[in-house]
Structure 1
Amino acid sequence: MSRDKAVAANENARVEAFLDAHLDEASTTLNAVAPIFAELAITRHESQPYDIPAHLLDALSQRHLASQAFLFSPSGDALAQEAIPSERPGVTDQEIRSRIRSMASISNYTETAVSDIVNIGGEVFLLSTRAIPCSGFTMPCSVASVGHLDETIASQMEDFWQVSSFGVSTIEPTGKSTEFAPIQNLSNETIGWFHWKSRHQGPTVLNTIMPWLSLLTTGVLIMCWLVWRRGLKISAQVLQSQQEAKHSALHDPLTGLANRTLMNARLEEALNQLGRQDKGFALHIIDLDRFKNVNDTLGHQAGDELIQEAAARLTSVCRNGDTVARLGGDEFAIIQLGVANPSSAARLSRRAIEQLANVYQIANSDVFISGSIGVAIAETNESSIQELVRQADIALYRAKGAGRNQFCFFEKEMDSALQERSAIEKDLRIALENNELTVAFQPQVSADGLHIRGMEALVRWNHETRGVVPPSVFVPVAEETGLIRQLGAFVMRSSFSTARKWPDITMAVNVSAGELHHQDYASSVIALAREMGVQTDQIELEITETVLLENSNRVTRTIKALKAAGFRIALDDFGTGYSSLSYLRRHQVDKLKIDQSFVSSIGVREDAGAVVQAIIHLGEALGLSVTAEGVETETQRAALKARGCAYLQGYLFSRPIREDQIPDLIRMFDQRGKKRGAA
């Protein structure tokens, strides 16, 4: 117990020494503004903001301090609840309060603080004095503050300075791993030491940020993995899209075969290989015969199915190295590699034709078509792609012209024929634009040769350099190039104009298959007849039996519309094709025309007379009139009359004449009839 008192006394002495040394300095400023302050006593604050030893506060509370001194904490919190003036004669409470209120206006009171460090009981404290003028009825301040440099402050300094084991000691620390610094008071006396252990910044920072860094790294890795997976998926999709786009650009969408672009690329490859190989290659261009009839009869969907089946059949006859392409519509091509001679190309074309000729099951119907093939063989690399395709096209044209359902090799003679055809097409276009064509008329007479029953309109072309160009030359060109509608319209208008002048004479006008396939043909002819003021029953439209054999729904509707309008239908060149009683009834034909090939054979071939007799009997049985074409001799006329043919046409009676010659021709026949009647 006596020891505790001795320690307390020692601590009190230290505090008193500090206060005696520094309070006078703090009081100097306040003495200027409050000289009449009495001594103040310290009352202990009932709720302590700091854990200050009780014996220290007791010592402070028992000390009579100068009137200008006040006690406060480092944070500004009061350690004493109030200051009470001690007894001093001549100073009243009212005076003190008055002086305190006047001190509130002092602005430099913050300069009245003095601090020092003291060792109390083997521990280090920060002891401060500060004079603070306050307002109020009493002085809510204290004369001094004591701050213990304890573990709380040490912990704060550890976090701030990033060190460990920070502490305060009154004994000088030892040890290599410990850093320390002296604590000195205002008199430069060492009161104690700060000691700590240094932290390495790298590990410290690393330990601090490692959890967050790991979390961030994991997130970044996951994100990168997701981006990588997404990138792989997008790359695969892009690659697939590119492949699909490339395939679409080089292949036919309906059949999956190579298209013209890919075919040209394969042709170029084959041409480049010609100089390195002993064998050449062949280009086959295939066209499906009468494919348009399938479209018109069964519809476009059936036509697509037929194209797909034909593509499969053509692929089946080729080897793995060959290329099968669809060039568009019903046209295909085959690039046959390793062709040593024309016979190997011929074998492939023959197999293709046989496959194409087999029956097709389309739309629950049996469909028959055939194929025509043009073949061009490349044996040297001097040929170009365009030249090969042109040669194969020329050969194809020859194959179709020869009757279809066959193949034909290109020959040099074909080239000149094709060039001539191109020249005729060019000149024909010019002739139509410049109205260089004319229409001639050939009479159709009674079997006795005395009366004109009708006229057939025949187109004529007298070229300024070519001379007279036969219809057999330029009409097929017009049909193939699409000029036939323009040509037909010209002939029809000229014929109607002539027919209007001789209303008692039937006017026969030839109509091509190309015209009948146009859906507006019937309406245009009907409108023209109305415009020209021609009776429709005066007009006889001549069509070939090959048109009817196509069995086209559109052609059937066109003929039906024309018949309903009053036009007569004549079947030209009857007997030269596949004659059928069914289409004669279906299309309500009015007249049969015996082809001149049978007429010219009368008296030469026995079977010709039999065919003519059969046609005449067929016409009589069906109630159809019959006209024989190409009558050139009296023998032919007499034979036809004897067999019962009612009408004849040919050079025996008249060559085709101009319109202005018709009146003379009519008068000549009238006079002939009168002479015969008089005789």
Structure 2
Amino acid sequence: MGASRKTAGTKLANAILFPVVGLVMLAIAFSVVLIAYTSQSADIAALNSERNLLRGGAKLQLDLLAKEQEGTAVWDQAFFYTRPNSLNRAWIDTNIGRWMLANHGHDQTVIVGVDGEPVYDFNRGNEHDPALAKPMLEEIKPLIARVRARFINSFRRLPSGLFVVERPRTGFTRSINETGFTLKDGRPAFVSVTAISPELKQFLAERQPPAVLVSIKQLDPVRLAALAERSGTRDLRVSHDRPAEEIAASLALSDPRGRTIGYLTWQSENPGAQILAGVSPMLFFLATTIAGLTGLVLFYTRQNTRRLAESEARAQHAALHDSLTGLANRDFFAARFRDELSDWHSGKGLVGVIYIDLDHFKDINDTLGHAAGDEVIREAARRLRVLAPDNATLARISGDEFALLLPGAADRSRIEAVLKRMQDRFSVPMYVAGNHLHISLSVGAAIAPHDSLSMGELLRKADIALYSAKSAGRGRWAFFDASMEEHVRTRENLAHGLREAIRNNRLDLVYQPQTTIDGAKVLSVEALLRWTDPEMGPVSPAVFVPIAEETGLIYDLGLYVLRRACRDAAAWPHLGVAVNVSPTQFRHPRFIDDVRNTLAESGFEPTRLEIEVTETVFADDDSGILDTLTRVQELGVRVALDDFGIGYSSLSYLRRFPFDTLKIDRSFIADLDVAPHAHAILSTIIDLGEALGMKVVAEGIETSQQAAILQRTNCDRLQGYFLCRPVPPSEVPAAERRLAAGDPAPRPSISLSA
């Protein structure tokens, strides 16, 4: 009976176990096939990705070649000296052929005249008979034909019957060009053909074909290495013969006539094969283990144990890793950092701690939304993870800030090599939310034991180095230096001193007159802020205004200027007063109320006050800015657009926002003495302001010639050192009398900071 029960139990166990084991083995076999298929698919996908990167890298090189041509091809003098009636080969040789070789390393430069025949050939550093270039030009004839056709089609007929060339308004270059590959000396080479066109508009009686500039860069080992680095490929080579079938990593190069002139071959990564080789022993072990299972109890025990372990691992991973990127979080990074420092000795090399910040990330969130910002963070994490050495620890510290721990570095150059690879990788734009985004990195680094062996000190110094990199213009890296700490202390002292100066009324205002067109009568004055600290002496606004922006003092500073200007200007009831307002101050929710209260408390006539804003105030919310502008004007206060002409969309702002005054940027005034077209541009801006019903002020007048030119225009007001330098409030009446008498501007009577 007992034997029967045992046999029955065994049969029952076998009846349950064998099918389960069979199903498991079948599943394992299916998994093996699936993994093999997946690895092959991964290899194919990786190869296609490498091919696309290489194709994109080659396209970028061609675009850069066309961009290099733009400076000489889109040029009035080049257009003139390459026309048949004014052809000047000596000028072309100096300013195009030799210039392109010296500055961009072009191997051959050819000018094809308007009749389609070569007129100039600069090859191997010497000028040659243009006829020698004809065989090469015949090979790229389709490119030349397309460029000439596009140039002719770019003519736009005006109502007067004349024609004008319309160059491309958007894109990487402003030139009309075609690019491709050709053979030079039996080797594949980059070639770009660009129409030589005028920089300024030229009005012609009829459409005319262009002369074209042909530039060739041979795909030599140096350029091949640069292309490999840009595309992330290994062992990139040029082959003249078709690669064997087993060499899948290849890209055919075709000339403009569609003929294959060579192949690019490289060593593919084959990640799928690597994965398959790594997991094969594990699959064999798993199959052997499962085949030896003899009972359901053991099977379920293993399953339950595995689930418990996985759950614990997931919980532990979640506690130490960032959920968005999967990178280590601040706690994990700090633990690894403490371990490295506690176990450090001289034989283990240097330990580098690196802070990485994405430049202008807030602008991406504000313009494209937080979903796009999250995708940028994930892509940045992917790129950094690939670049980090195997023994490094990469972590996401906060929103757009990452940290990298690099132990065991032999010297500082090893750390610099990692930073260079980061900057190079991020020079490739990200494609996010339908946009190509150019994201740069600001990086700060500190090194143990040179800077400290304290984790807190090293992190603090890496943060100081990061701030220094940002202050130097972003898109770069900086290693901590003791002078940086001094700079931080100086900045903190300046911020503290500025706060005290605002609180104790130790800031001064000077005023620069705005006169009638003849410079004889003062109509208004512009308030300019000056600060002389008792200990530091005069401090330039170029120094303390950015500090006020960074420390949140800019609103108090702007309100201080507004109140002082209204109080000082009460002594000149016949004059208006202009006050500059920063974007931060203008967007402040209390701005309108504070302007209203200041006018009421000082008894200042609102129509005498003019608020000056720059185009940067419109960076985010147009509707909110329009509402604020409207409310300012409803108070009776006038609004001026300062520094007009240097923004990328000035005309659209004039159309959408109600300005009373247009202030022409001083760069246009400075060009009057040197640029032949500056007078025409200035007249156009003045006419535009007059057509829109705005008063026009020209600032930055420093010479009598500039003043004389402006007096022949419809400009309403003049301002600048030639007429009068900024003066203290007590000297404003004297400045009025001097200008009325026609006296020259004296030297300043007070110390003025730039």
Quickly name the TM-score band, shorter chain normalised: 0.5 to 0.7
Unaligned runs of 5+ in 1: 1-228, 674-679
Residues 321 and 598 of structure 1: is their aligned pair in 2 closer, same or farther, counting only changes over 3 Å?
Answer: farther
Q: What is the rounded CA distance, in whole Å, between the counterparts of 2:324 and 2:741 in structure 1?
A: 69
Matched, 1:285 2:346: no
Q: What is the rounded CA distance, in whole Å, between the counterparts of 1:304 and 1:529 in structure 2?
A: 45
Superposition pairs of residues 33-48 of structure 1, within 5 angstroms: none
Contact map agreement 1:274 1:280 (CA 8 A) in 2:
no
> Identity of aligned pairs, percent?
39
Letter of the structure 1 residue corresponding to residue 561 of structure 2:
V
Superposition pairs of residues 468-617 of structure 1, within 5 angstroms: 468-550=538-620, 554-555=624-625, 557-606=627-676, 612-613=682-683, 615-617=685-687
Number of aligned residues: 436
Residues 358 and 547 of structure 1: is their aligned pair in 2 closer, same or farther, counting only changes over 3 Å?
Answer: farther
Superposition pairs of residues 355-366 of structure 1, within 5 angstroms: 357-361=429-433, 366=435
Residues 450 and 318 of structure 1: is their aligned pair in 2 closer, same or farther, counting only changes over 3 Å?
Answer: same
Superposition pairs of residues 4-153 of structure 1, within 5 angstroms: none
Which residue of structure 2 lines up, in the alignment, with residue 5 of structure 1? Answer: none
Residues 642 and 435 of structure 1: is their aligned pair in 2 closer, same or farther, counting only changes over 3 Å?
Answer: same
Letter of the structure 2 residue corresponding to residue 347 of structure 1:
K
Partner SS, residue 638 of structure 1? helix
Which residue of structure 1 lines up, in the alignment, with residue 419 of structure 2? Answer: 346
- Superposition deviation, residue 637 in structure 1: 1.6
Partner SS, residue 354 of structure 1? coil
The structure 2 residue matched to 1:428, chosen from 498, 501, 510, is 498
Contact map agreement 2:350 2:449 (CA 8 A) in 1:
no
Deviations 1:157-216 (A, max 9, x none): xxxxxxxxxxxxxxxxxxxxxxxxxxxxxxxxxxxxxxxxxxxxxxxxxxxxxxxxxxxx
- Superposition deviation, residue 542 in structure 1: 1.8
Q: What is the rounded CA distance, in whole Å, between the counterparts of 2:675 and 2:641 in structure 1?
A: 24
Q: What is the rounded CA distance, in whole Å, between the counterparts of 1:557 and 1:241 in structure 2?
A: 55
- Superposition deviation, residue 438 in structure 1: 2.0
Partner SS, residue 426 of structure 2? helix
Which residue of structure 1 lines up, in the alignment, with residue 512 of structure 2? Answer: 442
The structure 2 residue matched to 1:373, chosen from 442, 450, 457, is 442
Q: What is the rounded CA distance, in whole Å, between the counterparts of 2:622 and 2:426 in structure 1?
A: 23
User: Relative to structure 2, which stretch is displaced further, 487-496 or 408-417?
Assistant: 408-417
Residues 612 and 282 of structure 1: is their aligned pair in 2 closer, same or farther, counting only changes over 3 Å?
Answer: farther
Contact map agreement 1:454 1:506 (CA 8 A) in 2:
yes
Contact map agreement 1:372 1:399 (CA 8 A) in 2:
no
Deviations 1:129-181 (A, max 9, x none): xxxxxxxxxxxxxxxxxxxxxxxxxxxxxxxxxxxxxxxxxxxxxxxxxxxxx
- Superposition deviation, residue 241 in structure 1: 8.1
For the pair shown, the structure with the greater C-alpha radius of gyration is 1
- Superposition deviation, residue 479 in structure 1: 0.7
Partner SS, residue 532 of structure 2? strand
- Superposition deviation, residue 397 in structure 1: 3.4
Deviations 1:445-473 (A, max 9, x none): 12311111211111111211222212111
Residues 541 and 306 of structure 1: is their aligned pair in 2 closer, same or farther, counting only changes over 3 Å?
Answer: farther
Q: What is the rounded CA distance, in whole Å, between the counterparts of 2:461 and 2:645 in structure 1?
A: 35
The structure 1 residue matched to 2:706, chosen from 624, 636, 641, is 636
Q: What is the rounded CA distance, in whole Å, between the counterparts of 1:382 and 1:654 in structure 2?
A: 52
User: Relative to structure 2, which stretch is displaced further, 307-316 or 502-511?
Assistant: 307-316
Contact map agreement 2:451 2:458 (CA 8 A) in 1:
no
Deviations 1:293-350 (A, max 9, x none): 4555566666556555554554455455444433334433334556551541332331
Letter of the structure 1 residue corresponding to residue 422 of structure 2:
S
Letter of the structure 1 residue corresponding to residue 686 of structure 2:
I
Matched, 1:650 2:713: no
Q: What is the rounded CA distance, in whole Å, between the counterparts of 2:683 and 2:392 in structure 1?
A: 54
Contact map agreement 1:284 1:349 (CA 8 A) in 2:
no
Q: What is the rounded CA distance, in whole Å, between the counterparts of 1:447 and 1:582 in structure 2?
A: 28
Q: What is the rounded CA distance, in whole Å, between the counterparts of 2:376 and 2:623 in structure 1?
A: 18
Contact map agreement 1:288 1:331 (CA 8 A) in 2:
no
Letter of the structure 1 residue corresponding to residue 666 of structure 2:
Q
- Superposition deviation, residue 507 in structure 1: 1.8
Partner SS, residue 427 of structure 2? helix
Q: What is the rounded CA distance, in whole Å, between the counterparts of 1:629 and 1:652 in structure 2?
A: 10
Q: Which TM-score applies when normalising by structure 2?
A: 0.50
Partner SS, residue 588 of structure 2? coil
- Superposition deviation, residue 666 in structure 1: 3.3
Letter of the structure 2 residue corresponding to residue 378 of structure 1:
I
Q: What is the rounded CA distance, in whole Å, between the counterparts of 1:261 and 1:559 in structure 2?
A: 47
- Superposition deviation, residue 491 in structure 1: 0.9
